[in-house]
Amino acid sequence: MADLQDEPHSVGVGAEYLPAPAVPAVPAAPAVPAALPCALDRAAALLSVHPVADGCNTLVWTLRQSPYHDIGTPDAGVDTDIPRLRAGGVGAQFWSLLVPSGRPGGAAAADRVVSDTLEQIDVALTLVRDYPDSLLLGLTADDMADARNRGRIASFLGPVPGRTLTDSLGALRAFHALGVRILAPAGAPWAQDGLTAFGHEVVKEANRLAVLLDLTDCPPATACQVAGASKAPVIISNTAAAALNPHPGNVTDEVLLALRAADGLAMVTFDPARTGDSLHAVADHVDHVRAVAGPNAVGLGAAFGSEPGSPRPAGLTDPSGYPKLIAELLERGWPEADLALLTWGNVQRVLRDAEFTSRAAQHRRSSP
């Protein structure tokens, strides 16, 4: 009879203390890295902290012509409303008070320019008053920050046309008292072929009042002269790079370098005639302005605010498209610090510098 211990499946005395058979080790599964956020998610996160300060929206003119639009709800009759501004991460807006050239009340009616401008101001103030939970009148850089902190869109009035000033600085002071903070010299007699003596006085008074000078559509020589004469930074609220598209409204590299030297700001438009008809083309212009003028001198001024029919680059048909542009720039390798300057920081810095210049000028005037 065989011994029980020879049976392969028998358990003898003390068998419970025998070592268990070796089990081959199973290799651990490789750690799965957490999914990296896509560029669009990163763009949305960035805009939640550094929203867009847009340098140009023509909605005031549109509302003056078609006052029935309700921008508090999605409005298919216009490309700008509060839901789309919020969806695009817009935290501050410059509302243009210019009257489009060639339209009723435009450049052809020079004798009406002051009354037209006052009507534009009235519409803009009514706009801010009608939507108090979403819009906040912006007069200073602190107002801009306060609006962001309160979940509102800071609303700055301007530019107004420089043609309104004629030979008196009183109009500029009156506009400032009404809340205007941006003046456009283009087309003014005092800034056509360089600054006249009165033009130099306008620049000085704008500096004293902390009114930004917007050089959009100024001839390059005049733009460079104003940038050099102003003690405060100047802006170009909607433009693109002439080096990429020689449109007469686009800014030359010479002017971009003058802006860089003057700590100014060039804000890239979404006008396909100036940039091209795609989001990629707009990003090319933003890239070029940053490369020439530097990351501290580039911003965004889309020039939305129209009724249907205005051409727009694909992907940037209304303010809700801003995150797509920021995502495109992220994919091109832009550091988030530069994007924060592009969207918010550069505009706030320009406003603060203008206010510092204003305080210095007023201090000099009051000193014995």
Residue 160 φ/ψ, nearest 5 degrees: -100, 155
How confident is the model over 28-46, as a mean pLDDT?
72
Q: Is the pLDDT of residue 13 over 80?
A: no
What confidence tens digit (pLDDT) does each residue in 325-342 have?
999 999 999 999 999 999
What confidence tens digit (pLDDT) does each residue in 247-264 have?
999 999 999 999 999 999
Confidence of residue 166 (pLDDT cuts 50, 70, 90): confident
What confidence tens digit (pLDDT) does each residue in 182-196 have?
999 999 999 998 999
Confidence of residue 111 (pLDDT cuts 50, 70, 90): low
CB-hemisphere CA count at 13 Å for 324? Answer: 16
How confident is the model over 293-306, as a mean pLDDT?
97
What confidence tens digit (pLDDT) does each residue in 205-217 have?
999 999 999 999 9
Structure tokens at 314: 């694909």
Element (H, E) at 129: helix 113-130
